[in-house]
Amino acid sequence: MNCGESSEMPHCFLNLNWDQSIDPNSQLDSALNSIVSSPAPNLISQPEISPQSHYISTNGTIGTSTGSLTSPPPELNLSMGGGRAGLMPMLPNLVPMNHIDQFQPDSSFTQRAARLSCFDGQNYPGFITQFDLTSIKDKRPETGLLGGGQVTQLLDKAQLGFNNAVNGHDESSVSDPVSGSGQIGLPGPSDIGVRKRKASAKGKGKETQKVSEDKGSDTKRCKSVESNGTQEEGIKPKSEPNGSVSTGTTEKGNGAKSKGKDTGTKQLPEPPKDYIHVRARRGEATDSHSLAERVRREKISQRMKLLQDLVPGCNKVVGKAVMLDEIINYVQSLQRQVEFLSMKLATVNPQLDFNNLPSLLTKDMQQACAPLLNSSFPLDTSGLALPFTNSQQQANPLHFVSSSPSSVDPHNTMHPFFNAITDAASQLGAFWHDDLQNVVQMDIRQNQEEIPVSSQAFNGTIQQAHMKMEL
Amino acid sequence: MENLLSNASPHSETLIEERGKRIKIAAEVGLARSSGGRLWARALRRRLHRQRKLPQQACIVKNSTPPLMKEVPLVADVAEEKDEVEDRVRALQRLVPGGEEMEVERLFEETADYIEALREQVGVMRALACLLDGIESTDGDKL
The three state secondary structure string of A402-442 is HHHHHCCHHHHHHHHHHHHHHHHHHHHHHHHHHCHHHHHHC
Q: How far separated are the first and last CA of chain A, in Å rounded?
A: 70
CB distance A85 to A52 below 8 Å: yes
Helix axes A288-310, A320-346, angle to 10 degrees: 40
Task: Give the pLDDT score at B35.
Answer: 65
Contacts of A387 in chain B (CB under 8 A): 30, 33-34, 36
CB distance A114 to A155 below 8 Å: yes
Task: Give the pLDDT score at B45.
Answer: 74
CB within 8 Å: A369 and B35? no
Task: Give the pLDDT score at A269.
Answer: 52
CA neighbours within 13 Å on the CB side: how many for A412?
2
Task: Give the residue among A190, A197, A364, A177 at the shortest CA–CA distance from A278.
Answer: A197
Q: Which DSSP string do the residues of A202-224 spell out, in sequence order?
A: HHHT-EE---------HHHHHHH
CB within 8 Å: A304 and B120? no
Report yes or no: B59 at the A interface, CB cutoff 8 Å. no
Mutating which of B18, B28, B120, B138 best tests the A interface, going by the most A Cβ atoms within 10 A? B120
A388, closest residue in chain B (CA to CA): B33
What CA–CA distance (Å, rounded) separates A350 from A61?
A: 59
CB within 8 Å: A324 and B88? yes
Task: Give the residue among A185, A196, A194, A178 at the shortest CA–CA distance from A92.
Answer: A178
Helix (H) or strand (E) holding A167: strand A166-167
Q: How far is B117 from chain A (nearest CA, A)?
A: 5
What CA–CA distance (Å, rounded) separates B98 from A447?
A: 29
Closest by Cβ to A331, choosing from B111, B127, B143: B111
Report yes or no: B118 at the A interface, CB cutoff 8 Å. yes
What CA–CA distance (Å, rounded) separates A457 from A465?
A: 8
Contacts of A352 in chain B (CB under 8 A): 135-136, 139
Helix (H) or strand (E) holding A166: strand A166-167
Task: Give the pLDDT score at A277.
Answer: 67
What CA–CA distance (Å, rounded) separates A363 from B135?
A: 9
Task: Give the pLDDT score at A223.
Answer: 43
What CA–CA distance (Å, rounded) separates A459 from B62?
A: 18
Instruction: Return the number of other C-beta atoms located less than 10 Å from residue A56's C-beta.
Output: 32
CB pairs under 8 A between A and B: 244
Q: How far is A29 from chain B (nearest CA, A)?
A: 46
Question: What is the three-class DSSP state of A278?
Answer: coil
A374, closest residue in chain B (CA to CA): B127
Mutating which of A300, A338, A436 best tests the B interface, going by the most B Cβ atoms within 10 A? A338
CB distance A218 to A176 below 8 Å: yes
Could you tell me which residues come within 8 angstroms of residue B101 by beta carbon, excluding any fewer than 6 positions away? B43
Task: Give the pLDDT score at B55.
Answer: 54
DSSP state of A366: I
What CA–CA distance (Å, rounded) separates B120 from A68?
A: 35
pLDDT string in tens for chain B (143-residue length): 444 444 444 445 577 677 777 777 777 777 776 766 677 777 777 777 777 776 554 444 444 455 555 555 555 567 777 788 888 888 888 888 877 777 888 888 888 888 888 899 899 888 888 887 777 676 555 55
Q: Is the predicted ipTM greater than 0.90, yes or no?
A: no
Contacts of A344 in chain B (CB under 8 A): 1, 129
Q: Which DSSP string do the residues of A4-54 spell out, in sequence order?
A: T-TTT-TT--TT--TTTT--B-HHHHHHHHHHHHS--S--TT--TTHHHHH
Contacts of B142 in chain A (CB under 8 A): 353, 356, 360
φ and ψ of A257, to 5 deg? -60, -55
Query: What's the pLDDT tens digit per position in B30-57?
Result: 777 676 667 777 777 777 777 777 655 4
| Residue A363 to residues A335, A367, A386, Cα–Cα distance (Å) | 31, 6, 22
What CA–CA distance (Å, rounded) separates A137 from A131?
A: 11
Instruction: Return the number of other C-beta atoms located less than 10 Å from residue A8's C-beta.
Output: 17
What CA–CA distance (Å, rounded) separates A37 from A34?
A: 5
Helix axes A107-117, A151-160, angle to 10 degrees: 80
Task: Give the pLDDT score at A363.
Answer: 55
Q: How many residues comprise chain A? A: 471
Task: Give the pLDDT score at B18.
Answer: 74
- With residues binned 3-state (H G I as helix, E B as strand, rest as coil), the percentages for chain A, rounded to 5, are 60, 0, 35
Task: Give the pLDDT score at A361.
Answer: 55
What CA–CA distance (Å, rounded) separates A197 from A170?
A: 7
Q: How many residues comprise chain B? A: 143
pLDDT string in tens for chain A (471-residue length): 444 444 444 444 444 444 444 444 444 444 444 444 444 444 444 444 444 444 444 444 433 444 443 444 444 444 444 444 444 444 444 444 444 444 444 555 455 544 545 444 444 444 444 444 444 444 444 444 434 444 444 344 444 444 444 444 444 444 444 444 444 444 444 444 444 444 444 444 444 444 444 444 444 443 444 444 444 444 444 444 444 433 434 444 344 444 444 444 444 455 555 566 666 667 767 788 888 899 988 988 888 888 888 888 777 777 778 888 888 888 899 999 888 888 888 777 554 445 555 555 555 555 544 454 454 444 444 444 444 444 444 444 434 334 434 444 444 444 444 444 444 444 444 444 444 444 444 444 444 444 444 444 444 444 443 445 555
How does A386-401 read in b/e, with b if 16+ C-beta sit within 10 Å? Answer: bbbbeebbeebbebbe
The torsion defined by the Cα of A285, A291, A293 and A294, in degrees rounded to 10, comes to 90
Beta bridge partners of A207: A167
- CA A221 from chain center: how many Å? 19
What CA–CA distance (Å, rounded) separates A102 from A74?
A: 20
Could you tell me which residues come within 8 angstroms of residue A332 by beta carbon, excluding any fewer than 6 positions away? B65, B68, B95
Contacts of A139 in chain B (CB under 8 A): 112
Q: How far is A370 from chain B (nearest CA, A)?
A: 9
φ and ψ of A248, to 5 deg? -50, -75
Handedness of CA A410, B20, A338, B33 (dihedral sign): negative
